[in-house]
Amino acid sequence: MNPYVTDRDMLERILAAAGNGVKVRLVISEHSNNGAATAALKHHYADLQAAGVEVWELPGTIVHAKVVVADDTVSFGTVNLDAWALYRNSELMLLARSAELARHFQEQLFGRDIARAKRGMPPTGAAAQLKSRLWSGLAYYL
């Protein structure tokens, strides 16, 4: 889940992972607050789809969470997947190796909104509430 996925190297890594059989789901806003970033990502939709990447556009909200769930590891913080954040800005990302936290992110935070997106409904607010939920539950998981 990331608002701006425009870095060429990152997109190539996402495509390579999917090409190697990794299940990749990308959660973004249906309508972003950055038209250029949205256009840059949508330019790659055909390649992403061909590689088997699921792209979920959440309606009715601006996805601003920066979260990656990979197996039993979750990374979250301020890092967008664009060149400015990856190579120029001073960004922060927390890496948590916790199967329980990974399940929480996968099921409770993303699962509901992906299910609603499948039905064309606005998100339940999980994306907007990510920060408060994350910080209130973080001490329990770490």
| pLDDT tens profile 21-44 | 998 888 888 888 888 888 888 899
Identify the architecture of domain 8-132 in CATH. 2-Layer Sandwich (3.30)
130 pLDDT above the threshold of 80: no
Please list, residue by residue across 42-81, b when 16 or more beta carbons sit within 10 angstroms of its beta carbon and e when fewer do.
eebeeebeebebebbebeebebbbbbbbeeeebebeebbb
Domain extents in the chain: 8-132
Instruction: Express each pLDDT in 50-87 by its tens digit.
Output: 999 988 877 777 877 788 888 999 988 887 777 777 77
Across all residues in the chain, what is the average pLDDT? 77
Q: Are the C-beta atoms of 92 and 77 separated by less than 8 Å? A: yes
Position 32 scores a pLDDT of: 82
pTM, two decimals, is 0.70
